Amino acid sequence: MKAIIVDDEPIERKALRKIIESRFPDLEIAAEAANGKMAVELAEKHKPQLMTVDIKMPGMNGIEAIQKIRKKLPHTQFIMVTAYESFDYAKEAMKLGVREYLLKPSTQDETSAAIHRVFQSIVEEQERESLFSESTAVVLENILLKILQHELQDEPINTLQRLYPRMVNAYITVMKGEGDLLAEPIIELLNELSPSPFIAVPHGSQMVVLFISEKQDPSDDALLLAKKLMSSSFEKWRIGIGTPYTQMNKIRRSYEEALYTVMQLKMQGSSRYALFSDNGPTCEIPFDNLIAAIFNNQPFEASAMLGMLMNQGRTADLYIELKEQLIHEGVESANLQFPQTRQAWDELIHGLCQMIQDAKRAKDPVSLAKKYIDEHSHEPLSLEQVAEMVGLSPTYFTKLFKEETNVTFIEFLTEVRLNKAVTLLNKNKYSLKEICFMVGYKDPNYFSRVFKKQFLLSPKQYVREKALNQHRRGWAAP
């Protein structure tokens, strides 16, 4: 916490500095000022939380200085110091929100007590602001998640309007990159560049940002921000900007528009950011695109296209084509029923994505092999045996397994067996010999050598090290 001492008498500044430095180690004296003009300049430079200000100074007096500082630093707290016991001064000071009023000469204890009271009030205010900021962030993130999940009710809308009373409209931007989603640097950059308040949450492989705008048309702000983001660190990303809506219960549509715009940018391969436009042929969404998104396990993209199709009244045709495609691909669809609501459609899309991925894994020879190895690792297993089980030649299975897992069949089997051995060792229920046989090895000495090669400790050393660590933790516990 920073403080500035303002007094035209050097001896008074020196005495006050001594009290603060000896009794308030958490209070840093950022500067000293000998007059009101200097106090205003130093306050603007250092932005202190606390200032002690003498009233009678040459040129600009303390009251005038506080009035000017208050305009730019409304949260700075002041202790007024004066040799004049005047009610008029005290009254002016109170109007400016001055917390303490010290008469010269005051004792060290009186000065220290006044500083302590103001210091404590600043600390308490900072804690309240921090708590409010953290809890507000959680509330806002929950509101955005409810928008994305079609669960936005009147209460969160009212909360948003209470927090942002000057809000004219809101819109959603979707950022989607080609690599891993790194939320923290994106949010830091948005904090630095965004002209509007925003709520940002990672949503699958996307960063979804809800902007709160005080303008009737925030399009220019949105495009300029997208351009700045692209020129900063996200040149490989695509940014879609949805339409601003004044009715918050329609804001989900802005998300669908933004995500649809991202998909259009990817297909066109030209621009990296754009506003949503419902003019032109690009808005006619082929059913094949949505169905492909479902089969490629892209539920959010499919959901965005669904929103556009619902707005165009094309869901009945979509349902027929989707069901025909599921039958053609051999995916179980006998129990499917036409969804009557938007939420039911979203549940159907997510359910189908999961079902299709499960079906693909069931047909994938490497996934089948890994599952079989995990379930039968305690048995004698050979590469030829597993290759035959998945219906491949040993040579092709060896090549395919290495390409998809980056390890050989033996390395994978060894890793599975040793991980199970560690689990059994941690239970302290079995002897090393029993564990050796339980995980699929027939020779305890060979098991020990393989274990040591993997973990740099023999099974016996692992058990001793584990016991020693537990003993140390026991001693360290209060």
Q: Does the pLDDT at position 420 exceed 90?
A: yes
Instruction: Produce one character per residue of 368-397: b if its CB has 16 or more CB atoms within 10 Å, e if not.
Output: bbbeebeebbeeebebeebbebbebeeeeb
Do the domains 2-126 and 365-476 sit in the same CATH topology, yes or no? no
Query: Which tens digit of pLDDT belongs to each residue from 363-403?
Result: 788 888 998 999 999 998 889 989 888 888 888 889 889 98
Name 87's Cβ contacts closer than 8 Å, sequence gap at least 6.
none
pLDDT value at residue 282: 44
pLDDT value at residue 151: 64
* pLDDT greater at residue 246 or residue 468: 246
Query: Which tens digit of pLDDT belongs to each residue from 130-176?
Result: 655 556 777 788 888 887 776 666 666 777 777 788 888 999 999 98
Confidence of residue 285 (pLDDT cuts 50, 70, 90): low
Q: Does the pLDDT at position 259 exceed 50?
A: yes
Query: Which tens digit of pLDDT belongs to each residue from 43-66?
Result: 999 999 999 998 888 888 888 898
Q: Does the pLDDT at position 87 exceed 70?
A: no
* Mean pLDDT, range 415-427, rounded to an integer: 92
Domain 365-476: give its CATH superfamily. Answer: Homeodomain-like (1.10.10.60)
* Mean pLDDT, range 293-298, rounded to an integer: 82
Residue 83's nearest CA partner among 7, 183, 182 is 7
CATH code for residues 2-126: 3.40.50.2300
End-to-end alpha-carbon separation of the chain, Å?
34
Residue 259's nearest CA partner among 208, 187, 329 is 208
CA dihedral of 47, 53, 59, 61, whole degrees rounded to 10: 110
Q: Does the pLDDT at position 421 exceed 90?
A: yes
Could you state, in order of their start, the residue ranges of all structural domains in the chain? 2-126, 365-476
Q: Does the pLDDT at position 279 exceed 80?
A: no
Using CA atoms, how far apart are residues 433 and 145, in angstroms rounded to an integer? 53
Q: Does the pLDDT at position 183 exceed 60?
A: yes
Output the pTM of the full model: 0.46
pLDDT value at residue 173: 94
Which tokens belong to 68?
Answer: 């000017």
pLDDT value at residue 31: 92
Using CA atoms, how far apart are residues 316 and 71, in angstroms rounded to an integer? 61
Which tokens belong to 466?
Answer: 């584990």
Q: Worst-scoring range by mean pLDDT, 347-351, 449-453, 469-473?
A: 469-473
Q: Does the pLDDT at position 179 exceed 90?
A: no
Q: Looking at the chain, how many residues does it have?
A: 478
Confidence of residue 476 (pLDDT cuts 50, 70, 90): very low
Which tokens belong to 386?
Answer: 């597993």
Instruction: Output the average pLDDT for the chain.
Output: 83
pLDDT value at residue 215: 87
Query: Which tens digit of pLDDT belongs to each residue from 323-361?
Result: 888 888 777 777 888 888 878 888 888 888 888 877 766
Q: Does the pLDDT at position 284 exceed 60?
A: no
Q: Does the pLDDT at position 431 exceed 70?
A: yes
